[in-house]
Chains A and B, each alone.
Chain A
């Protein structure tokens, strides 16, 4: 049972435009959500997170939106830059330090 799903395996966006990555979850016990970014041959690095008591968190060019009723979160990157090209994982936790990850979305920013 895939509790966290990223239905788009890849996304291609033009430099300077907005990138929107989506993630759905099924477990209503999740109370914390995170986005990780992964370059080839490197481990995932933490990007941004949001608690279930919020519906938006912003950090520079990155904004995460949470819609609890729809069990959906999204990551917006604006403006997109070539260095943003990577695989993005969403993850969810229930406070127990263990994270459940989605399958990842490969984002390619085209010049």
Chain B
């Protein structure tokens, strides 16, 4: 099956800094999705990243805080900017491989802890 690689797998960050998470897939996909899972919470969609156009953000998420790049059909980055402890979460990228309606495949996630 197709592989999604995310890095870093985990990091500890200082308040006020920014961190970029990378997501690499081994097949070309049109859309990539970035989710966040705060401690004890559900997975929440941050934005949809389309190659060649700006990302589409969900309510409550803004480009200044979570800028996304999608330079080609196999790669995307999510930056968490000016971090605060409330940004401590697992960030996951996902893709739709066409396995069936709404079936998304997820990377292993990037666990960020902000001190």
* Residues of A near any B CB (own CB < 8 A): 2, 4, 9, 32, 34, 36, 41-46, 49, 51, 89, 91, 93, 95, 97-104
Instruction: Establish whether residues B109 and A99, one from each chain, have CB atoms under 8 Å apart when the complex forms.
Output: no
Separation of A53 and B79 alpha carbons in the complex (Å): 40
Residues on A with beta carbons closer than 8 Å to the beta carbon of B99: 46
Q: For chains A and B in complex, what number of residue pairs have CB atoms within 8 angstroms? A: 65
The 4 closest A-B pairs by CB, nearest first: A43-B106, A93-B102, A101-B43, A101-B42
Measured CB to CB, the nearest residue on chain A to B99 is: A46
Are A99 and B45 neighbours in the complex by a CB distance under 8 Å? yes
Contacts of A45 in B (CB 8 A): 105-106
Q: Which residues of A contact B58 (CB under 8 A)?
A: 98
Say yes or no: B106 contacts A98, CB within 8 Å: no
| Residue ID in chain B nearest A6 by CB atoms | B42
Nearest B residue to A94 via CB reads: B102
CA–CA, A42 to B4, complex, Å?
Answer: 11
CB <8 Å contact, B101 and A98: no
B103 close to A (CB within 8 Å): yes
